Amino acid sequence: MGTAAQKKKLFVKTWGCQMNVYDSQRMADVLAPLGYATSETPEDADMVILNTCHIREKATDKVFSDLGRIRPHKTAKAERGEKMLIAVAGCVAQAEGDFILERAPYVDMVFGPQTYHELPEMVARVQDAAGEKRIVNTEFPTVSKFDLLPVEQGVHGPSAFLSVQEGCDKFCTFCVVPYTRGSEYSRPVNAVLDEAKRLIDSGVQEITLLGQNVNAYHGEGSDGAIWGLGRLIRALADIKGLHRIRYTTSHPRDMDDDLIAAHGEIRQLMPFLHLPVQSGSDKILHAMNRKHKAELYFDVIARLRAARPDIAFSSDFIVGFPGESDTDFEDTLKLVDTVKFASAYSFKYSARPGTPAAVMKGLVHPKIAEERLARLQSLITGQQLAFNQSFVGQTMPVLFERLGKKQGQIQGRSPYNQSVYIEAASENLGWIKNVLIQEGFDNSLRGILA
Ligand code: SAH
Ligand code: SF4
Ligand code: F3S
C-alpha cells in the first residue's frame, strides 16, 4: 500500500459526448487530493475508470471488450501484491448497474454520472474492505453534484468545456439520455461565471458551454431572475480574455429570440452551431417525439442566418427509425439539400432497451438502413468538402491547440470548428493566428500563417 505522499496512478478512458469528457476531468479533480495523478496507460494504474456511453448498442459493447483487456493488468498487479481498482462510470453504469458487477466479477465499482462528488467516499469504502466490497451507486442525489465537486484544477489547453446544464426532459423516443442523466438541471449563473473566470485566468481563450440540452438553460441569476442561455452568453462575453464562446448540444425548439439575437450581437460567439434535427420527415419527427415539424427547423435556421449571415450549421441524423419509408428518407435528403451543412453526423437507428421506440413496429431492414446511411453520408461529405473548399484563398483566425500528425505541423480550430493544420513552430500553440487557407479536404483545411 502506498503512503499518501506517493502518487497513485489514475487511468481514465472516455467514450461518448463532450459532457463525458468534462466529467472525466472532474473525476480526476476529485481524486487528486487522494494522491491520484492521471496516467496515459492502464497497465500499472492503481485505479482505472471507464467513463462510458450508452447512446447506441455499439458504444455499450465496447465497454465489456475494454474491461476484458484491462483485466490481465489487474491480475498481473495482484500477483505482485498490488491492487488495481476498476470502475465503470458514465451512462452504461447508470443503465446497467448491478449487471456489470455480475458479468465482470473483477469490476470493483459501478457509479452513475450524478455521483462523482461521492468518489472519495466510494474509494474509501472499497479499499477498507480489502477488496471484498464492491459498489454500485446509481442514485440521483437531491443535491446537485456541481455544488459539491471541488474547484476544477486540471491543466487546460487554450480551449475548455464548461458544463452549464445537464440532463434532459425531452424524452425523444429513441434516446437513453433522460434515463441515464436524469431530469434537466441548470447551474446557477454565478457558479458558471466563476468557473469561466478561473479557466480564463489559467489561459483558456475558448469556452464551449455544455449541456445535453444546453439551450434549455434556465439558471438562477444573482438578481434572483432566471437567465436563459442568451443572457448567460452575454455575461460571459463581458469577461476580459475570453475570445471564443460556443455551446452544444441544442434542441431546435429551444432556440429563443434572445439566443438568436445574441448570435448577431456577440462578437465572441462563434458563427457555427450544432443543431440536431434527426430527420426531415414530419411523420418520423412525430414518432421520435421531437415535438416539431421540419418547417420549424427551416424557420430557426432562417432566423439565425438573418441574425448572423455567415453562420454555418452541423446536425445529427438517425436513419432507419421504425416506420421510416423511402419517402420519409427522401425528406431527410431534401432537408440536407436545402440547409447545406458545414458538417453532420449520421447514425443508423439503434434500439435501446427501455425506450419507447424499442417496441415500435415497422422495423427497417438493416440492409436498407445501411444503404440509406451511405447515401446520406455521401451527400453530407459532399457538402462538407464544398464548405471547406469555399475557404481556399481566404484568411481565417485559428486557435492552435496541439501538434499536428506530421512532424513540424501544428493544428487548431477555425471559427467554424474546422480542423486546420499548418507547418509552423510550436510557439504558436495556445494562440489565435491568422491563416491563409490553401487547401480544403473532407475533414480538415491546410494553410500557412498569413
Ligand atoms: N441532446 C442531443 C443529442 C444527444 S445524443 C440532442 O437532443 O440532439 C447524440 C446523437 O446520437 C443524437 O442527436 C442522435 O442523432 C444520436 N442517437 C441518439 N440515440 C440514438 C439511437 N437510439 N440510435 C441511433 N442514434 C441515436
Ligand atoms: Fe436525447 Fe432527445 Fe434529450 Fe437529445 S433532446 S438528449 S435526443 S431525449
Ligand atoms: Fe453517451 Fe451519456 Fe453522452 S449516453 S452521448 S455519454 S449523455
- Cell 481498482: give the residue: 85
Cis peptide before 142, with omega less than 30 degrees from 0?
Answer: no
Report residue 412 as a C-alpha cell. 487548431
Report residue 369 as a C-alpha cell. 438502413
Beta carbons of 197 and 239 less than 8 angstroms apart: yes
Under CATH, what is the fold of the domain 395-449?
OB fold (Dihydrolipoamide Acetyltransferase, E2P) (2.40.50)
pLDDT of 337: 98
Whether 440 is in the pocket of ligand 3, judged by its Cβ within 6 Å, is: no
Half-sphere exposure of 317 (CA within 13 A, CB side): 31
Q: What's the CA angle centered on 205, arms 158 and 50, to 5 degrees?
A: 45
Start-to-end C-alpha separation, the chain: 55
**C-alpha–C-alpha distance, residues 2 and 48, integer Å:** 17
Reference 342, options 282, 287, 384, 373; nearest CA is 384
pLDDT of 153: 65
CA distances from 44 to 60, 71, 164, 309 (A): 25, 11, 35, 53
Q: Report the CATH superfamily, name and number, of domain 145-389.
A: tm_1862 like domain (3.80.30.20)
- The ligand 1 site (C-beta within 6 Å) comprises 55-56, 174-175, 177, 212-213, 249, 251, 276, 278, 316, 318, 347, 349-350, 352
Q: How many angstroms does the Cα of residue 173 sit away from the middle of ligand 2?
A: 9
Mean predicted confidence (pLDDT) in 258-267? 98
How is domain 3-137 classified at the architecture level of CATH?
Answer: 3-Layer(aba) Sandwich (3.40)
Which residue CA neighbors atom 5 of ligand 2 most closely?
Answer: 170
User: Mapping DSSP to helix (H, G, I), strand (E, B) and coil, where does residue 18 land?
Assistant: helix
Q: How many angstroms does the Cα of residue 196 sit away from the middle of ligand 2?
A: 26
Q: Which ligand is nearest to the CA of 60?
A: 3
CA distances from 255 to 172, 234, 269, 281, 359 (A): 17, 15, 15, 20, 31
- Confidence at 96, pLDDT banded by 50, 70, 90: very high
Q: What is the mean pLDDT of the chain?
A: 94
Beta carbons of 279 and 288 less than 8 angstroms apart: yes
What would the pLDDT profile of 291-333 be if each residue is shown by its tens digit?
999 999 999 999 999 999 999 999 999 999 999 999 999 999 9
Q: What is the 3-state secondary structure (H, E, C) of 83-114?
A: CCEEEEEHHHHHHHCHHHHHHCCCCCEEECHH
Q: Which ligand is nearest to the CA of 358?
A: 1
CA distances from 311 to 263, 301, 308, 339, 341 (A): 9, 9, 6, 12, 10
**C-alpha–C-alpha distance, residues 304 and 333, integer Å:** 21
Whether 90 is in the pocket of ligand 3, judged by its Cβ within 6 Å, is: yes
Q: How many angstroms does the Cα of residue 89 sit away from the middle of ligand 2?
A: 20
**C-alpha–C-alpha distance, residues 111 and 409, integer Å:** 40
- Confidence at 5, pLDDT banded by 50, 70, 90: low
- Residue 291, Ramachandran bin (φ over 0: left; ψ between -120 and 50: alpha; else beta): left
Which residue CA neighbors atom 7 of ligand 3 most closely?
Answer: 177
Whether 19 is in the pocket of ligand 3, judged by its Cβ within 6 Å, is: yes
- The ligand 2 site (C-beta within 6 Å) comprises 168, 170-172, 175, 177-178, 212-213, 251
Whether 175 is in the pocket of ligand 3, judged by its Cβ within 6 Å, is: no
Question: Does 371 have pLDDT greater than 70?
Answer: yes
pLDDT of 151: 73
What would the pLDDT profile of 207-230 be if each residue is shown by its tens digit?
999 999 999 999 999 899 999 999
What would the pLDDT profile of 56-90 be if each residue is shown by its tens digit?
998 878 899 999 999 999 999 999 999 999 999 99
Percent of the chain with pLDDT over 70: 97
Question: Do 145-389 and 395-449 have matching folds?
Answer: no
- Cell 498481473: give the residue: 76
Q: Kindly list the domain boundaries of the chain, sorted by start residue.
A: 3-137, 145-389, 395-449
Ligand 3 atom with minimal separation from the 212 CA:
7
Ligand 3 atom with minimal separation from the 176 CA:
4
**C-alpha–C-alpha distance, residues 404 and 391, integer Å:** 20
Ligand 3 atom with minimal separation from the 54 CA:
4
Q: How many angstroms does the Cα of residue 55 sit away from the middle of ligand 3?
A: 6
- Residue 171, Ramachandran bin (φ over 0: left; ψ between -120 and 50: alpha; else beta): left
Mean predicted confidence (pLDDT) in 27-44? 94
pLDDT of 58: 86
Q: How many angstroms does the Cα of residue 219 sit away from the middle of ligand 2?
A: 19
Hey, which of 291, 318, 352 would you mutate to test ligand 1's pocket, going by the most ligand atoms within 8 Å of its Cβ? 318
Whether 55 is in the pocket of ligand 3, judged by its Cβ within 6 Å, is: yes
User: Mapping DSSP to helix (H, G, I), strand (E, B) and coil, where does residue 329 land?
Assistant: helix
Which residue CA neighbors atom 1 of ligand 3 most closely?
Answer: 53
Whether 176 is in the pocket of ligand 3, judged by its Cβ within 6 Å, is: yes
Q: Within 10 Å of residue 275's Cβ, how many Cβ atoms?
A: 21
Long-range contacts of 2-7 (CB under 8 A, 24+ apart): 2/35, 2/46, 4/35, 5/35, 6/35, 7/35, 7/36, 7/37
- Cell 434542441: give the residue: 251
Question: Does 282 have pLDDT greater than 60?
Answer: yes
pTM above 0.85, yes or no: yes
Question: Does 2 have pLDDT greater than 50?
Answer: no
Helices and strands (DSSP H and E) totals, the chain? 14, 21
Q: How many angstroms does the Cα of residue 44 sit away from the middle of ligand 1?
A: 35
Q: Which ligand is nearest to the CA of 96?
A: 3
What would the pLDDT profile of 121-166 be if each residue is shown by its tens digit?
999 998 875 556 888 999 888 777 888 777 776 667 899 999 999 9
Ligand 2 atom with minimal separation from the 251 CA:
5
